[in-house]
Chain A
């Protein structure tokens, strides 16, 4: 079970959190997106092997969403950053 560093509450067990999937999925302008572009927004995910950005909710804690970079192979959490922060440029 992972231990996730909530930016507000500190390290907590994974059971307190909910994973919201890949982060930085930009919502296209619904009136300009054609069906393919909209379907890509809804369904296409990178499913990376290695470091990927995800958003997590500290559901049984502070109730805040945040971003993190997690290695999907080792489960190492590389960094944690705010919802509004840009994706880290390189592997930190």
Chain B
């Protein structure tokens, strides 16, 4: 017999039917159902196949501890059906099986079960090696499928601050929130369910002299009416982090980062099973879940129940079952006697109760058909049933308490770990092992009042039902290899013993060896069962075994929710040049360079990019070109000690620079390694403008501040990054001077008045400008800096000046042509020609020899490693075949096949009409004219080592 909907009751809206599909078949449930309750009510018994053996599985629980009903919902993999709210049009299906749950080809694995114990992979797939087996195993294992083409709905990250955070809105959590917020404190109450109430949604009783549902409605109304109390429903707290940060996820979409002065953990308790043979058959469920489906969702899992328990509390399930007109075949109680009010009530209702009895085995394959029971006289007997409810006690949900730094204590009375001391949270209610309603309400009330410092007032009053002692019981009997510990990972009682015999006695090792607790349910219902069995196998008490470390997330969190809005282009926003649109209108192919979108080249018509780069580079050498250099870093450094400070930050002395002049230098870190290079301008006695690479602008400004604030606190210097305040256009080429003059400027351009490596301030085309004679192309060159918003205007004016001058217009050139030009000239590109091991001396700057004063990294440049022979040094490379373009990163092959360095920059040079390159080669400067072999992923070329300057070695074109 299968599950069905009861004629009345439940917290579902029978006026609002909901249509959904499972495995392609249409079903109907009601508003208020979960996918799990709707499937159970629709009579679906097999909701999935197990991970390893592909055994048929049915619903086991009604909450986040569900190990069996792992489902795919549309593109979302590995959800637990017990947590999926039923909505119209929902399309869900199982994981772990093909073609379907009813017939699964992988079930053949179950026949090989004897050969697939824990550690099977580690022992078996060693030959020839794991990589050979991996594709096969990956196809056979694994849970849901991720559809790479699917896009998850966009998540959000939100922040909340409050005085008191209450996690869990069961009786204790509600009482705590009511007490904590009574004095007007800011309270946030978080509940994973769509409804508040926790256990009251399943087990109704009387609170403050009224039915618990009425008390619940009043409490909820009171909380809702408080302006400083906020309730987050369908929100799961998944982690407690350092310094009181609590993270929660709402409706799989919103990640909340909550900072609370105090945190109350009222997360309740999770029922655990007792293992017996074939206890994973569909129809075996946790007792509390069987009861919850009846009372909350008006759904019976079957018609004839056997309850197997070691405690009084589970008798509620037999009573509820019976009270709904369903048959309880037997209560099998492992204890010698059961005399509390609940067992008495069961007997009074005519329910057969067998104490001192054990359930050994479930009968039936695709669904439970009965049980084998051993009674107090050790006689075996069969009882027919279609549902087995099992309860081995309850484990307080302590994960958050421990994540927050709390320590656990073992409590014999409930055979479970309970919160001890420490940490920044306060636990209350069933999360502390207080399972009685009255105790939970009183404790929650006191906890709320205490953390809020509010006057306690009266707690909500309810009676505890007296319960007798429970009997710790982990494996009742039957074949241990068919008695399940972790259903989701297919770990059996036998696997625990095997792990112990093989030496995995630490609970952390045991977990990794068996994969116990590593599935979507994270072993919520199986953890204490597993560690107790491990203790039994190794002669230790559970408290001595301990738990595995509780780490966030407590429950799976969609990556999309964690990503929030940081996706697509927003993941890493890029900067646009002030003249971005003008570049586009000139046909620029934009690419990202160090966070900036910049023109790579300006291909014209059908021109290829490579042809465009060569045309642009040739045009600059022959005539003139325009380049947008705005991203170059600019840092304003001023103050009475600015010169002294820069002397210490750069390898060249800069305090001796005259106002109006420029100097090129390198910056190293304290390890002596090249960090950046640039041209420094002295604007005045106390003021410099430091140029950096585009990518180094932020890093260098931060380095300046660190040295000023942490080491040289006596220096009077201010550092202001100004990169984006200025737009910079570089006019380069033999015609640059003519064009700049034609654009109109009040600066005397005569080379004698305005020589190389100086700058002038004035106007260009009517725009206030600072013009620097500095070159990264090797050509006569002017860098014209203007207020950023006037960059496009300047660009147009310089382009149009050709008409006035009566010469062809300057050619716009992109980053790739600039790279070609600077390689031809042998100009360094920090980060391409240098790496994290490059000292200035390696690239031709003998900085350690600077006399008289110190600078960052100088001492390190004298360390043995910096001055040893065999360092990589910057050289030029000429491939023997003129058209053989080298690849940056290709290795220079040493004698004996090791690496003797690598190509650091390479291009085809229009000026030389051949391929050229720069390389870092072992002892390269002493190996001029040597022919070496270059290996580019197996392609081998011969190249000759030459000085790293291919064009205009004496620099006459610059002047």
Inside 8 A of A48's CB, which chain B residues have their CB? Answer: none
| B 654-689 binary contact with A (CB < 8 Å = 1; else 0) | 000000000000000011000000000000000000
A3 B259 Cβ-Cβ under 8 A? yes
| Per-residue A-contact encoding for B219-259, CB less than 8 Å = 1, 0 else | 00000000000000000000001111100000000000101
A27 touches B711 (CB 8 A): yes
Residues of B close to A31: CB separation below 8 A: 854, 859
The CA of A55 and the CA of B670, in the complex, are separated in Å by 17
Known pairs A27-B711, A75-B242; A57 contacts B706 (CB<8 A): yes
Question: A30 in the interface, Cβ–Cβ < 8 Å?
Answer: yes
Which residue of B is nearest A67, CB measured?
Answer: B710
B337 lies within 8 A of chain A by Cβ: no
Is the CB–CB distance between A20 and B858 below 8 Å? no
How big is the B interface, by class?
Answer: 20 to 34
Q: Say how far A18's CB is from chain B's closest CB, in angstroms.
A: 8
Q: Which residues of A contact B705 (CB under 8 A)?
A: 57, 63, 65
Write the B848-883 contact mask toward A (1 if CB under 8 angstroms, else 0).
000000100011100110000000000000000000
- Tell me the chain A residues, 11-66 only, with Cβ under 8 Å from chain B: 13-14, 20, 27, 30-31, 33, 35, 38-39, 42, 55, 57, 59, 63-65
Checking A35, A55, A57 against B864 with a beta-carbon cut-off of 8 angstroms, the contacting residue is A35
Given A3-B245, A39-B863, A42-B860: A74 and B706 interface contact (C-beta under 8 Å):
no
A83 touches B245 (CB 8 A): no
- Say yes or no: B711 contacts A38, CB within 8 Å: no
Residues on the B chain within 8 Å of A9, using CB: none
> Which B residues, 611 to 637, have Cβ-Cβ distances below 8 Å to chain A?
none
Q: Report how far A31 CA is from B711 CA in the complex, Å.
A: 17
Output the least CB separation between B749 and chain A (Å). 40
In angstroms, Cα B705 to Cα A20, docked, is: 12
CA distance A4 to B242 in the complex (A): 11
**Chain A residues positioned under 8 Å from B709 (CB to CB):** 64-65, 83
Chain B residues with CB under 8 Å of A84's CB are 713
Q: Are A30 and B671 in touch, CB under 8 angstroms? A: no
Say which residue of A13, A33, A38, A83 sits within 8 Å of B710 (CB atoms): A83
Bound form: Cα–Cα A16–B864 in Å:
39
* Chain B contacts with A in 563-589, Cβ cutoff 8 A: none
- Complex Cα distance, B423 from A75, in Å, reads 12
A10 to chain B, nearest CB (A): 13
Which residues from chain B contact A39 at a C-beta distance below 8 Å? Answer: 863
- CA of A57 to CA of B854 in the docked complex: distance in angstroms? 25
A20 contacts B243, CB within 8 Å? no
A3 with B863, Cβ < 8 A, contacts A65-B705, A74-B405, A83-B713 known? no
List chain A residues, Cβ under 8 A from B243: 1-3, 75
Q: Would you call A2 and B242 a contact (CB within 8 A)?
A: yes
Counting chain A CB atoms within 10 Å of each CB, the highest count among B671, B709, B864 belongs to B709
Chain B residue contacts of A27, Cβ below 8 A? 711
In the complex, A30 Cα to B248 Cα: how many Å?
52
Closest B residue, CB atoms, query A63: B705
- Contact check, B706 vs A38: say whether CB atoms are below 8 A apart: no
A interface: dominant SS: loop
Measured between beta carbons, the chain B residues less than 8 angstroms from A42 are 670-671, 860
When distances are taken between beta carbons in the complex, the residues of chain A under 8 Å from B702 are 57, 59
**Interface hits, B35-73 → A, CB 8 Å:** none
Interface core residue of A1, A3, A74 (most chain B CB under 10 Å): A1
Cross-interface CB contact of B854 among A20, A30, A35, A64, cutoff 8 Å: A30
Residue of chain B at shortest CB distance from A74: B405
Which of A3, A14, A20, A33 contacts B706, CB < 8 Å? Answer: A20
Instruction: Tell whether, in the assembled complex, residue A20 and residue B863 are in contact, meaning their CB atoms are under 8 Å apart.
Output: no
In the assembled complex, the Cα of A75 lies from the Cα of B242 at a distance in Å of: 7
B860 pairs with A20, CB closer than 8 A: no
Cβ contacts under 8 Å, A35 to chain B? 863-864
- How far is the CB of B616 from the nearest CB of chain A, in Å? 39
- Given the complex, which residues of A lie within 8 Å of B405, measured CB to CB? 74
Q: In the complex, what residues of B have CB within 8 A of residue A83's CB? A: 709-710, 713
Complex contacts, A55 vs chain B, CB 8 Å: 710
Nearest to B243 among chain A residues (CB) is A3
CA distance A1 to B670 in the complex (A): 30
Give min CB distance, B124 to chain A, whole Å: 41
> What is the CB-to-nearest-CB distance from A77 to chain B, in angstroms, rounded to a whole number?
8
Bound Cα distance from A49 to B888, whole angstroms: 44
Closest Cβ neighbor of B857 among chain A residues? A30
Residue with the highest number of chain A CB atoms closer than 10 Å, among B241, B244, B710: B710
Q: Are B242 and A1 in contact (CB under 8 A)?
A: yes
Report the separation of the CA atoms of residues A33 and B858 in the bound assembly, to the nearest whole angstrom.
Answer: 12
Question: Min CB distance, B238 to chain A, in Å?
Answer: 14
Nearest-CB residue, chain A, relative to B708 = A65
A33 to B854, CA, bound (A): 13
Interface residues of B in 709-730 (CB under 8 A from A): 709-711, 713
Contact partner of B863 among A38, A65, A74, CB < 8 A? A38
> Which residues does chain B contribute within 8 Å of A3, judged by CB atoms?
242-245, 259
| CA gap between A1 and B241 in the complex, in Å | 6
State in angstroms the CA–CA spacing of A87 and B245 once bound together.
Answer: 29
A36 to B858 alpha-carbon distance, docked (Å): 15
Which chain B residues lie closer than 8 Å to A63 at the CB level?
Answer: 705
Q: Give Cα distance in the complex from A64 to B709, angstroms.
A: 8
Q: Which residue of B lies closest to A38 (CB)?
A: B859
Q: Please state if A38 and B860 are interface contacts (CB–CB under 8 Å).
A: yes
CA distance A55 to B705 in the complex (A): 13
Contact B859 A1 (CB under 8 A): no
**Alpha-carbon distance A46/B241, docked complex (angstroms):** 26
Complex contacts, A13 vs chain B, CB 8 Å:
245
In the complex, the chain A residue whose C-beta lies closest to that of B405 is A74
**Assembly CA distance A35 to B866 (angstroms):** 12
Nearest B-chain residue to A4, judged by Cβ: B243
CA distance A81 to B710 in the complex (A): 13
- Nearest-Cβ distance from residue B207 to partner chain A, whole angstroms: 38
How distant is B282 from chain A, measured CB to nearest CB, in Å? 43
Task: Please report which residues of chain B, range 352-396, place their CB below 8 angstroms from some CB of chain A when the two chains form the complex.
Answer: none
Closest to B713 in A: A84
- Do A20 and B710 contact each other (CB < 8 Å), given the known contacts A30-B858, A63-B705, A74-B405? yes
Most buried by A among B243, B711, B864: B243
Nearest CB to that of A65 among chain B residues?
B709
Distance of A38 Cα from B863 Cα, bound (Å): 9
Distance to closest chain B CB from A21 (angstroms): 11
Cα separation A72 to B274 with both chains bound (whole Å)? 41
> Shortest Cβ distance from A48 into chain B, in angstroms?
18
Report the minimal beta-carbon distance from A6 to chain B, rounded to whole angstroms: 14
| Chain B contacts with A in 725-766, Cβ cutoff 8 A | none
Distance of A2 Cα from B242 Cα, bound (Å): 5
B855 nearest in chain A by CB position? A30
Q: Name the A residues within 8 Å of B706 (CB-CB).
A: 20, 57, 65
Q: In the complex, A1 Cα to B257 Cα: how many Å?
A: 10
Which residues of chain B come closer than 8 Å to A64, judged between CB atoms?
A: 709
C-alpha spacing A2/B424, complex, angstroms: 13
Identity of the chain B residue whose Cβ is nearest the Cβ of A66 in the assembled complex:
B709
A62 CB to nearest B CB, Å: 11
Residues on A with beta carbons closer than 8 Å to the beta carbon of B257: 1
The CA-CA distance from A13 to B259 in the complex, in Å, is 10
For residue B864, which residues in chain A have a CB less than 8 angstroms away from its CB?
35
User: Which residues in B have some Cβ–Cβ distance to A below 8 Å?
Assistant: 241-245, 257, 259, 405, 670-671, 702, 705-706, 709-711, 713, 854, 858-860, 863-864
List 30 interface pairs A-B (beta carbons < 8 Å), by A numbering.
A1-B241, A1-B242, A1-B243, A1-B245, A1-B257, A2-B242, A2-B243, A3-B242, A3-B243, A13-B245, A20-B710, A30-B854, A30-B858, A31-B859, A35-B863, A38-B859, A38-B863, A42-B670, A42-B671, A55-B710, A57-B702, A57-B705, A64-B709, A65-B706, A65-B709, A74-B405, A75-B242, A75-B243, A83-B709, A83-B713
Given contacts A1-B243, A35-B863, 13 further A-B contacts (CB under 8 A): A1-B241, A14-B242, A30-B859, A31-B854, A31-B859, A42-B671, A55-B710, A64-B709, A65-B709, A65-B710, A75-B242, A83-B709, A84-B713
Across the A-B interface, give the 6 residue pairs with the lowest CB-CB distance, nearest first. Answer: A30-B859, A3-B243, A65-B709, A75-B242, A1-B245, A2-B242
